[in-house]
Amino acid sequence: MEKEIAEIAKALGAIAKNLTSLAKKAVKSATPGRRPAKAKAVAPPSKRPKAERKVTVTVPDQVLKQIRKSGEKGMSIDAIQKKTGLTTQQINNALYKLTKSGAVSRTGRGVYAAADLAGQKPLPKSKPKAKAKTAAKAPKAPRKPRRIKTSEPVPQPPPAETTAQVSETTA
């Protein structure tokens, strides 16, 4: 029995060595040989003067620029789209903002002109049609109540007697 205990102790020692080597490998794989992260350098502020910096041009600015180039006659949405390469939706949104601000006025159907150019007459806004006054309306009949769907059949009233049936019963 002592021999068996010695063999078991020897096997346990081998298992312990394997466990320690596996633990070391696990620690190495969890933290690979990476270097510590360097602090990122903050970009220096632009050294160019403000006049040289790029200015972002907004969609309404692009549309207004093209309309002003067209002069007093104005410009259609299709022409603006061809000149700027913008989508119809972008142009419509820009024109809405520009007309609200008063920078552009509508001179015809789908034609817009810059409001600050001489001789521009915006189209008059259409007035809503007035409703014709009518005589006093008759009150509406009350609505029939809604039927509720159920799984049970709805009881039907007995059929009404016709005049022929009534005359037979009285005779």
What whole-number distance in Å separates Cα of residue 26 and Cα of residue 104? 70
Can you read off the two tokens belonging to residue 79?
Answer: 């022409």
Structural domains in the chain? 59-114 (1.10.10.10)
The residue type of 100 is: K
Could you tell me the pTM of the whole model? 0.39
Q: Is the pLDDT of residue 93 over 90?
A: yes
pLDDT at res. 117? 65
Within 10 angstroms of residue 63's Cβ, the number of other Cβ atoms is: 28
**Phi, psi of 128, deg, nearest 5:** -65, 140
What share of the chain in percent tops pLDDT 90? Answer: 9
